[in-house]
A and B are shown apart, each in its own frame.
Chain A
């Protein structure tokens, strides 16, 4: 019995050694490739079991996307050098940050980040905010020098005005002039906290001056979610959205 087992063991070992030692290498003989486009239009076959898995989630998403989180008392339009839509987004984000116990001095976003031209008078839905801010940009706060802030505001001027809050500038020859931060003239030697998106903070849209901040704070929330949260709070407190255009950016 023992002998037999041992014999078996030996022959297995020999065969294994042969297999390891003499494994015929497989060679790739040919390839075929195709990157197939996927479409869900009416001519296409859809997987019914996958649709069934999606259905309950879709019902919840659709339900939540249609939730009313605010009412606009007037049309809020995207304009330059300043407009009610950009002003609203920056003002509301400033209030969100303050509610989190932070003290941003200013808020600056890029105009390209706002993806719909108008929030119309009436109900504002979660879906509206998703359409307004479809990019998954995070809300961040950077501490910069007054000189860096001046550079950033020159970029705002160069772009004929971006959405801002907490400051006033006049655009003259594509430069920011008569700069007021929270009502005070800009001090090039002072330090300021700038509320913005991680997109601009990462140097996007030529905002390279934001690449080397003195300090960095992550809210770990997307701009969109912060806006939704703050709008909900305001609506709960009985506020509605007004079309604010207060001359924070003027052109000479």
Chain B
């Protein structure tokens, strides 16, 4: 890690020198630094665990033997062995669905996710099923971050415990992750979510993504969303989020338990491609997205979406 940081610092210095030397080229979309090693990052993600610790029981004709936390962990470890440092994320609804939640209130779910090395999760509606107090009680078992930007926690006991966003440095890259939650009114008894105020996800997302991309200069901006993939109505969802915002590169979704056969692609308000992925529920799948980045000396113009190559290796 330190070595990587050192390397990237070296690279920056080199780039700086090149810029001084080739100042005239600074605004042309020419790959001045073609010799620089591309940076690679793999993102693994889940959503809607719903307390599925064990695989589905054998009597289940459709899902018997599928899923299971020990198998998920083995898969994650295998990817880590191959790729090194990864980013491991979850889009919420970790709680509720098996007796493990009824009996232990989410303690085991958080312990296992910590053990697996999750970096960041967002809150789903079911994560409030034991109330704010129940959630607070389990937080000491979580070694990962929790993000949500559109719930106003200022009047809630969760204030300060859930951050709007977090920035991660992995593989020499800077990745901004923010969270969005679904409207809790009508979904969760008011008694359970208390004084959390829901704000419009689109307005919040635009602000967050711009902050992360422009101010913090993140190489990748990820939204962990528990809004749901898509509805038969105008209800805000990941599809609307992707098309009505700017500066989000990747939306990792949940809530609707949608098994996308492959990530879906949308074009946002500034004509850039946005990737949306969701992997069903119950830990039956783990999503894996591998990005390759190349440096471009082109600070004046945003990289155009036409330059993005899409490699679709497996369905």
For chain A, which range describes its interface: under 10, 10 to 19, 20 to 34, or 35 or more residues? 35 or more
8 A Cβ contacts from A30-89 to B: 30-41, 44-51, 53-54, 57-58, 60-61, 64-65
Stretch touching chain B among A18-26, A151-159, A168-176:
A18-26
Closest CB in chain B relative to A141 CB, distance in Å: 12
- The answer to the question of B4 belonging to the interface, with a C-beta cut-off of 8 Å to chain A, is no
Count A-B pairs with CB separation below 8 Å: 199
Chain B binding surface, main DSSP class: mixed
- The answer to the question of A128 belonging to the interface, with a C-beta cut-off of 8 Å to chain B, is no
Contacts A34-B288, A35-B262 known; A24 to B299 CB distance under 8 Å? yes
- The answer to the question of A225 belonging to the interface, with a C-beta cut-off of 8 Å to chain B, is yes
Please give, as numbers and ranges, the residues of chain A lying within 8 Å of B289 by CB-CB distance.
31-33
Contacts A38-B284, A40-B65, A50-B73 known; A32 to B313 CB distance under 8 Å? yes
Contact A38 B66 (CB under 8 A): yes
Contact B19 A37 (CB under 8 A): no
Contacts A19-B16, A28-B308 known; A34 to B70 CB distance under 8 Å? no
Please give, as numbers and ranges, the residues of chain B lying within 8 Å of A136 by CB-CB distance.
96-97, 126, 129
Please give, as numbers and ranges, the residues of chain A lying within 8 Å of B220 by CB-CB distance.
28
Partner of B115, one of A34, A50, A64, A225: A50
Please give, as numbers and ranges, the residues of chain A lying within 8 Å of B283 by CB-CB distance.
38
Contact B53 A57 (CB under 8 A): yes
- The answer to the question of B82 belonging to the interface, with a C-beta cut-off of 8 Å to chain A, is no
Please give, as numbers and ranges, the residues of chain A lying within 8 Å of B287 by CB-CB distance.
33, 35-36
- The answer to the question of A8 belonging to the interface, with a C-beta cut-off of 8 Å to chain B, is no
Closest CB in chain A relative to B126 CB, distance in Å: 8
Please give, as numbers and ranges, the residues of chain B lying within 8 Å of A38 by CB-CB distance.
66-68, 71-72, 75, 283-286
Closest A-chain residue to B218, C-beta based? A26
Partner of B65, one of A19, A36, A41, A58: A41
Stretch touching chain A among B84-92, B176-184, B185-193, B231-239:
B185-193
- The answer to the question of B230 belonging to the interface, with a C-beta cut-off of 8 Å to chain A, is no
Most buried by B among A21, A50, A218: A50
Q: Can you report 26 residue pairs joining A to B where beta carbons are below 8 Å apart?
A: A24-B15, A24-B299, A25-B299, A26-B293, A28-B291, A30-B291, A30-B308, A31-B310, A35-B287, A35-B288, A36-B75, A38-B68, A38-B285, A41-B65, A44-B71, A45-B74, A49-B115, A50-B115, A50-B116, A53-B115, A54-B112, A57-B108, A58-B54, A136-B97, A136-B129, A220-B189
Residues on A lying within 8 angstroms of B by beta carbon are 15, 18-19, 21-41, 44-51, 53-54, 57-58, 60-61, 64-65, 126, 130, 136, 138, 202, 218, 220, 225
